[in-house]
Structure 1
Amino acid sequence: MSEQILLREDRGPVAVLTLNRPEARNSLSLALIGVLHDAVRDLGGVDAIRAIVVTGAGTAFSSGHDLKELTAHRNDPDRGRAFFSKTMTACSDMMLAIVRCPKPVIAGVNGIATAAGCQLVASCDVAVAADDARFATPGVNIGLFCSTPMVALSRNVSRKAAMEMLLIGDMVSAEDARALGLVNRVVAPDRVVNEAIELGRKIAEKPKRTLKIGKDAFYRQLDMSLEDAYRYASNVMVENMLDAEAEEGIGAFIDRRAPRWPE
């Protein structure tokens, strides 16, 4: 992991990953996409880490794809097609890695989160935003519809809210983003990372296999029909009931004692 473009700090059971390209408003270069993907994947297998916070250095969370990097490849023989494809595929894979990570991933949003930066917020499981943070999918204004950000955005907010953001491209305030369901909490700017870490610590107190089972099931059932989702979730509940964590947790509840979670 390149310490120049992505920083990591462990705060107890919570790993804080900081996008560190403040001079470029933390735009998602191909290199940054790669190291963030690797970090999330690797942290998913670290027992001591129970939650991950993603935030940005400087005055922006992320302004989206690095348009200067993309534009530089228009001089390639194929007018940039191969590089554009490589970048978009890598970015989609990184977003999927966040969704598939067995550890909850929390966005700590400072400043702007636009285009793929907004997609990154929407891809995280939980989001905390500064009260002066702003969100947008403004690609339509420069002739590049935010099609990949649309995938994550449309799975967080209502269809009409997503379409308004995508078709108009205007900035959305932190409070409006909370009302739309894009973020969970809005706090003072100097509280964003600490609030996200505190959320991570609360999550870290829960039984780890149960969290993994639950996060995986949540995303799997989203695209199922109602009947299929209930059938699938019922099977998940059965398997979860047979897990040692559920046996201990339910027993502790019945006995009115604190659970002693198995390793």
Structure 2
Amino acid sequence: MSYETLLVEVGENHVATVTLNRPNQLNTFTTPLADELTRALKALDADPTVRVIVIKGAGKHFCAGIDVSEMSGKTPMELRAWIERMETPLVTIGEMNKPVIAQVHGVAAANGAGLVAACDLAIAAETARIGLTAINVGLNCVGPVIPVSKSVGRKIALEMLLYGELLEAKEAQARGLINRVVPAEELEKAAQDWAAVLAQKSPIAVQIAKRGFYVAADMEYHKAFAYMNEVFARLCTTEDAKEGVAAFMEKRKPVWKER
């Protein structure tokens, strides 16, 4: 499958890397990029050779948001359809079975920050900065703030939405937007190594855990426990669960059957 705005690579370690490839435009979202990113994510989710997906940006920055030049001349109805397309990749990540890791360097702003927050996990360079910056040009990040608020909570999300400041990587980590922060020169290797470790886990256990987590997140407290107990019971019937327990008892490395 070919792409004009992305680079997609699948490694032998079951890790796929998707690179936003508009470096001269700071990897800003356009209609083609949004559509291609959605298509690539769905294709990789369906690819049996892929277990983990890493998203990164080409050039100096991860993603500086949306290319606002596309706004011109659109009616309100057209603008609504357009912004929904920009946000579709963010929604898609939460609907996927396989985990997605953001590899963040430079600036991740506006929809770029939303993309980082929408990813299941995130690793960033010490020099990276992230923020909901659209308020500074008379717009707002009411779409990207949704995944951001799931990570940082209401008050911090509102502060980010209303003030539009860029957070340093360490502060973003402290607020829950980033899992790990590493020296910039180590980011590529650290992200790939981290993804490779996750790719060695039972694929079916990882995927069931991710789907269960997102479904339970929107449930009432006691109902979430009931749902997750059902998820666990189903997981226990899989071949991977039986193999994992047997390998543990026999003190050997498991051989996942992926079923």
Matched residues in 1 for 2:15 and 2:250: separation? 31
1:53 equivalent in structure 2: 54
Give 1:2 deviation, angstroms.
Answer: 5.0
1:234 deviates by 0.6
Matched, 1:30 2:68: no
Q: What RMSD over aligned residues (CA atoms) do the two structures have, in Å?
A: 1.4
Would you say the 8 A contact 1:2–1:35 is kept in 2? Answer: no
- Given candidates 157, 168, 172, the residue that maps to 1:173 is 168
Given residue 57 of structure 2, which amino acid in structure 1 is its aligned partner? G
Show the counterpart of 2:102: 107
Aligned partners of 1:10 and 1:200: how far apart in 2? 12
Residue identity opposite 1:9 in structure 2: E
Q: Structure 2 matches for 1:113-262, cutoff 5 A?
A: 113-262=108-257
Q: 1:194 Cα shift?
A: 2.0
CA distance in 1, matches of 2:174, 2:134: 23
Note the residue ranges of structure 1 that are not aligned, 5 or more in a row. none
Give the C-alpha shift of residue 256 in structure 1: 2.6
Q: Which letter maps to 2:189?
A: N
Q: Partner of 1:108: helix, strand, or coil?
A: strand
Residue of structure 2 equivalent to 1:66: 67
Match of 1:11 in 2: 11
Runs of 4+ off more than 4 Å = none
Question: Normalized against structure 1, the TM-score is what?
Answer: 0.93
Total equivalences in the alignment: 257
Query: TM-score with structure 2 length normalisation?
Result: 0.95
CA distance in 2, matches of 1:29, 1:233: 38
What SS class does the counterpart of residue 146 from structure 2 fall into?
helix
Closer/same/farther in 2, CA of residues 5 and 242 from structure 1, 3 Å limit: same
Cα deviation, residue 80, structure 1 = 3.0
Which deviates more from structure 2 when the two are superposed, residues 100-109 or residues 31-40? 100-109
Matched with 1:80 is: 75
Q: Indicate the percent of aligned positions where both proteins have the same amino acid.
A: 36
Q: For the residues of structure 1 that align with 2:3 and 2:40, how far apart are their CA atoms?
A: 11
Verify the 8 A CA contact 1:65 1:115 in the aligned structure 2.
yes
Question: Helix, strand or coil: the match of 1:61?
Answer: coil
